[in-house]
Amino acid sequence: MDNAFYGIANYDKPNYPNSNFNLKETVDALDKIGYDYFIVLAHIDDTNGLFTELRGRTQEDFIRQESFNRVLAVQKSANLENYNKLCQWLNRKSKIACVEGSDNAHGGIDAIGKGKVTYIKLGDFNFEALTFALTDSEYRVSPKDKPEIKNSYIKSIAFEGGLLEGTKIDFSPELNNLIGIRGSGKSSLLEVLRYVLGISLPVNAADPDYKNSLVTRSMGSGGKAIVTIVNKQNEEYRIEKLYGQKEDIYKNNILQPGISIDATGFNSPIYFGQKDLSNKGKDFEGDLIQRLIGTRLKAVQVKIEQKKREVENIISELKKLQNLNDLKKETDAQIQNSKHQLNFFKEKGIEDKLKQQTLFDSDISKLVQNESTVRSYLNELASVISNHDYFFNKKLLVQKLIKNYLKKQSQSFKN
């Protein structure tokens, strides 16, 4: 640093004068030191930035030189045309990263973290991870806006008792990798997660007895697993499960009695255990597709079933229409037969007899109806007599009243 700005006063204050070294000389000097590094090209659109200091062919040659490969990011890039031109000349697999920071050279170490920020996704907190993230800027660098996690995810798992007593593992909301030698507990961890989340083994799972035994061995008698999950609404739940017992679900450290994991809004993960993906058993492909799709096509499947029923109904109606001509001929024949019989009845005088029969039937129906009315009246009268016998001192008088009434009714039938 001293050599680069030797003899230059106030090099750490605006307007930041140029150093004694060009880019190639700077890279050569840094290479001699022997430490890994990368360069962030600052304020490229300002008056002393890349696109003002250099123009035309000189600018393109400067960017295409080998030393520029050490430049992994640019800062204060506000001109989209300049940025696209830079990416085109570099011709890298991923666009060069745009970053923002305090850019406060005269503030020193104390100024770091103040002002603008850039969010970077890292697999580990080291220089190599940061270098990799800048070379994959499309997926790992987010200037200004903090990335939001929109999917459900497992936040952590911890163990109390059992073989894994005191173990706690925090997970990324995105990709996680479990790396270990044979027998180090990778499968045990996955099977306990499956057990706590209530995911049943599929019917065609490989080695189901072995997988269930891993849960028994890991948790043991009285062992507890504690899994923290986050749903799509960014609500956090804690699931505590003792081996062989129903899980307890907490939200904001408050027990939610009686609810299941489905009620938390957490999208259950798709589970594939050890050897499951290499298991080429019966219906493996169909089961695999069904598990990957899950319930996402349920609404579409319901619509398909509705349309199938509609098509079946239409086909049934069409089949009925195909027999319409035969039905018409049959109906016409029945009408002709009925007309012929009617004419026969008229000729033989049967028509009048049928009318008389109809009248007789009507009279019979009327008599039956009147008889029912009389019987109902008599039953009601008997009930009144039974309940109020103190009004009726002479039995003969009652019988006489009844006989008179029946006589009148008989005369009305004759009329």
DSSP characters over 348-363: TTHHHHHHHHHHHHHH
One domain, residues 118 and 190? no
Share of the chain above pLDDT 70, in %: 83
Of 249, 279, 309, which marks where a domain is finished?
A: 279
User: What is 25-67 written as a DSSP string?
Assistant: HHHHHHHHHT----EEE--TTSTTSHHHHS-HHHHHHHHHSGG
Alpha-carbon distance of 256 to 264, in angstroms, equals: 10
Q: Which residues contact 269 (CB under 8 A, 6 or more apart)?
A: 154, 197, 199
Q: Hey, is 219 helix, strand or coil?
A: helix
DSSP annotation of 259 reads -
245, 219 contact by CB (below 8 A): no
One domain, residues 171 and 137? no
One domain, residues 67 and 87? yes
DSSP annotation of 75 reads E
Q: pLDDT: is 392 or 127 the higher one?
A: 127
Does residue 395 belong to any structural domain of this protein? yes
Q: Which residues contact 78 (CB under 8 A, 6 or more apart)?
A: 45
Does residue 72 belong to any structural domain of this protein? yes
Does residue 14 belong to any structural domain of this protein? no
pLDDT band at 38 (very low <50, low <70, confident <90, very high): very high
One domain, residues 122 and 164? no
To the nearest 10 degrees (0 to 180), the angle between helices 324-347 and 350-387 is 90
Alpha-carbon distance of 150 to 63, in angstroms, equals: 38
Asked whether the predicted pLDDT for residue 390 surpasses 70, the reply is: no
User: Which amino acid, 172?
Assistant: S
Domain of residue 360, residue span: 347-414
8, 30 contact by CB (below 8 A): no
Give residue-wise pLDDT tens across range 9-23. Answer: 777 676 666 777 788
Give the pLDDT of residue 288.
72
Per-residue pLDDT, averaged over 128-140, amounts to 90
Q: For residue 230, give both structure tokens.
A: 């986050």
User: The CATH number of the domain where 234 resides is what?
Assistant: 3.40.50.300
Q: Hey, is 175 helix, strand or coil?
A: coil
pLDDT band at 176 (very low <50, low <70, confident <90, very high): confident
Lowest mean pLDDT among 24-33, 132-141, 398-407: 398-407
Of 116, 143, 170, which marks where a domain is finished?
A: 143
One domain, residues 176 and 253? yes
Residue 313's H or E segment, with its range, is helix 298-322
Does residue 319 belong to any structural domain of this protein? no
Give the pLDDT of residue 165.
85
Lowest mean pLDDT among 25-29, 110-114, 148-152: 110-114
Distances (CA, A) of 42 to 120, 283, 366: 18, 58, 112
Q: pLDDT: is 291 or 60 the higher one?
A: 60
Q: What is the mean pLDDT of the chain?
A: 81
Of 240, 255, 279, which marks where a domain is finished?
A: 279
Alpha-carbon distance of 123 to 132, in angstroms, equals: 9
Does residue 57 belong to any structural domain of this protein? yes
Give the pLDDT of residue 127.
93
One domain, residues 32 and 101? yes
Q: pLDDT: is 121 or 339 the higher one?
A: 121
Give the pLDDT of residue 327.
77
One domain, residues 161 and 126? no
One domain, residues 163 and 112? no
Q: Hey, is 257 helix, strand or coil?
A: coil
Alpha-carbon distance of 270 to 21, in angstroms, equals: 56
One domain, residues 131 and 27? yes
Query: pTM of the entire structure?
Result: 0.54
Give residue-wise pLDDT tens across range 59-118. Answer: 888 888 888 999 999 888 888 888 888 888 888 888 898 888 766 666 777 777 777 788
Does residue 407 belong to any structural domain of this protein? yes
Quickly count helices (H) and strands (E) in the chain. Answer: 13, 11
Give the pLDDT of residue 122.
87
Q: For residue 66, give both structure tokens.
A: 């080998």
98, 74 contact by CB (below 8 A): yes
- Cα separation of the two ends of the chain: 137
Give the pLDDT of residue 128.
93
Does residue 284 belong to any structural domain of this protein? no
What is the domain count for the chain? 3
Q: Hey, is 413 helix, strand or coil?
A: helix
Alpha-carbon distance of 346 to 319, in angstroms, equals: 41
Does residue 4 belong to any structural domain of this protein? no
Alpha-carbon distance of 268 to 197, in angstroms, equals: 8
One domain, residues 252 and 193? yes
Per-residue pLDDT, averaged over 322-346, amounts to 79
Asked whether the predicted pLDDT for residue 393 surpasses 60, the reply is: no
Q: pLDDT: is 55 or 181 the higher one?
A: 181
27, 67 contact by CB (below 8 A): yes
One domain, residues 126 and 224? no
Alpha-carbon distance of 169 to 186, in angstroms, equals: 12
pLDDT band at 207 (very low <50, low <70, confident <90, very high): confident
Report CA torsion sign: 27, 28, 29, 34. Answer: positive
One domain, residues 139 and 180? no
User: What is 96-164 written as a DSSP string?
Assistant: PEEE-----GGGGGGGTTSS--EEE--SSSSHHHHHHHHHTHHHHEEESSPP---S-EEEEEEEESSTT
Q: Which residues contact 112 (CB under 8 A, 6 or more apart)?
A: 101, 102, 104
Asked whether the predicted pLDDT for residue 261 surpasses 70, the reply is: yes
